[in-house]
Structure 1
Amino acid sequence: MSEDPTQAELEEVEDVDPAVILELLKDVIDPELGINIVDLGLVYGITTEGRNLYLDMTLTSPACPLDEMITSQIESVTDGVIDSVDINWQWLPPWGPDRITDDGRDQLRAIGFNL
């Protein structure tokens, strides 16, 4: 005779792999520059606890008005994998072009930026 699992055991979920989240975030496009937030270097840190996501990230400028749009995109691309998203907007260290990945530089050159 087997024992029924407790509610706590049923609710226990392994942490989602941050590498999975990183790949999903490549589908979040910065509306101003037109490339993804990962290759732009806007993501500073990814932590998961179960199906909860905690992001440390920045924007290209503290005055950028697009935080809500980017947050909405993040929630959309992680839907079904993540239950909640908590973004800790960080302004230090400030974002700079040095944070852009090689892929990001290639994407920016392809749309006419001179890097």
Structure 2
Amino acid sequence: MIQIEINDPQYAQKVKIAQSLYQVIDPELFVNIIDLGLVYNIIYTDNTITIIMTLSTPHCPLGDAITSGVNNALSVHFPGHAVTVQLVWEPKWNFEMMTAEGKKLLGIA
């Protein structure tokens, strides 16, 4: 699960990016990628945004749809920024990475 430190110089921009990513829904689970805990880090500069994230499995059949969703969501709020999605497989995603809201949406206690 992503943690944005309040003393981060890009705090406001990273929070805005994270809020935009709530719009990106995993098409199989119908939960956004933030509440699923798929986003590990956000790197922001004046003209680039890099999202470091994972998928629920390395062979996720809808991975392209999710990464395209990230690009689409960020292009609305950050026009002119180059957006890169970097998929990583460590740490391996598991249900414990989900937020309380994500677990609630999936009916996990």
The TM-score normalised by the length of structure 1 is 0.78
Which stretches of structure 1, 4 residues or longer, exceed 6 Å deviation after superposition?
none
Provide the aligned C-alpha RMSD in A.
1.5
Residues matched between the structures, number:
97
Post-superposition CA distance 1:14-53 (Å, at most 9, x none) = x671110000000000011000000000000001111311
TM-score, structure 2 normalization: 0.82
Structure 2 CA distance for aligned equivalents of residues 51 and 31 of structure 1: 29
- The range that moved more, 78-87 or 42-51, is 78-87
CA distance in 2, matches of 1:90, 1:20: 22
> Using the alignment, how far apart are the partners of 2:71 and 2:52 within structure 1?
15
Structure 1 residue runs of 5 or longer lacking an equivalent are: 1-14
Q: Higher RCO, 1 or 2 (CA under 8 Å, sep at least 6)?
A: 2
Give yes or no for the alignment of 1:36 onto 2:32: yes
1:73 corresponding residue in structure 2: 69
1:23 lines up with 2:2 in the alignment:
no
Match of 2:96 in 1: 98
- 1:46 counterpart = 2:42: yes
Secondary structure class of the residue paired with 2:106: helix
Aligned to 2:106: 108
Gaps spanning 5+ residues in structure 2: where? Answer: 1-9
- Aligned-partner residue type, residue 86 of structure 1: T
How far residue 68 of structure 1 moved from its aligned partner, in angstroms, is: 1.2
